[in-house]
Amino acid sequence: MNGDTRLRCVINGEAFDREIDPRLLLVEMIRDLLDLKGTRIGCHTGDCGACTLRLGGAVVKSCMILALSAEGQSITTIEGIDDLTAIQAAFVAENGFQCGFCTTGMVLTAAELLRSNPDPSEAEIRRGLNGNLCRCTGYDGIIAAIRRAAEGMAALTGVSITPDA
C-alpha cells in the first residue's frame, strides 16, 4: 500500500472515485489529476483568489483545502459553470481583465455574488470581491463588468436594477 486514500466526490457533474495522496491540496488535484487548468495556483496562502471554486455550494480557496475534504461533496470549477455568458461578455466589454490570471477566480466569484444578490451596489461588489487580487486592472473594469452583467441578467429575467446612489 502506498498510503493513498480513496476520494469520492462529484466534479463538474462527473463522478470522481480514485485513490489520491492524502497530502494533496484540492487545487493540485483539480489541476494535476483532472487537467482543469482554469483553477489557478497563485499564492498558496488563500489571499489571491486565483484558485477559487465552488465546494458543496460554497465559494472556497482550493489552495487552502486538502482534496480529501471534498469527500462526498460536489465541486464546481470555472469549467463546470453553465451560466457565465453574461458575465464573460461583460468582462470583455468592460475590459475587466488584462493578463487573465485572476479572471477565472473573479468570474466565478462574480457568478456567486450575482446568484445571491442580483442587484449589487458598487460597495457590495467590492465586498464580494474581497479575497480576489488583480495585479493588472485596478478593479474599475472588473466592478463595471459585474454591474453590466447584473444589468444584462436583469434584462433577461425582468428584474429591476437600480443605479448606485
pLDDT digit string, tens, across residues 4-61: 999 999 999 999 999 999 999 999 999 999 999 999 999 999 999 999 999 998 999 9
> For 86-102, what is the mean pLDDT?
91
Residues in the chain: 165
Average pLDDT in the chain: 90
Q: In CATH, which superfamily holds the domain spanning 85-157?
A: [2Fe-2S]-binding domain (1.10.150.120)
> For 103-121, what is the mean pLDDT?
94
Query: What is the pLDDT confidence band of residue 160, given thresholds at 50, 70 and 90?
Result: very low
Distance between CA atoms of 101 and 19, rounded to whole angstroms?
A: 30
Choose between 164 and 116: higher pLDDT: 116
Domain-by-domain residue ranges, the chain? 5-80, 85-157
Element (H, E) at 55: strand 52-55
What does the radius of gyration of the chain's CA atoms come to, in whole angstroms?
A: 17
Query: What is the pLDDT confidence band of residue 159, given thresholds at 50, 70 and 90?
Result: very low
Judging by beta carbons within 10 Å of its beta carbon (0-12, 13-18, 19+), is residue 84 exposed, middle or buried?
Answer: middle
Helix axes 85-93, 103-116, angle to 10 degrees: 120
Indicate whether 133 pLDDT > 70: yes
pLDDT value of position 112: 92
Is residue 123 within 8 Å of residue 82, measured between CB atoms? no
The CATH number that domain 5-80 falls under is: 3.10.20.30
pLDDT value of position 127: 96
| One fold for 5-80 and 85-157 | no
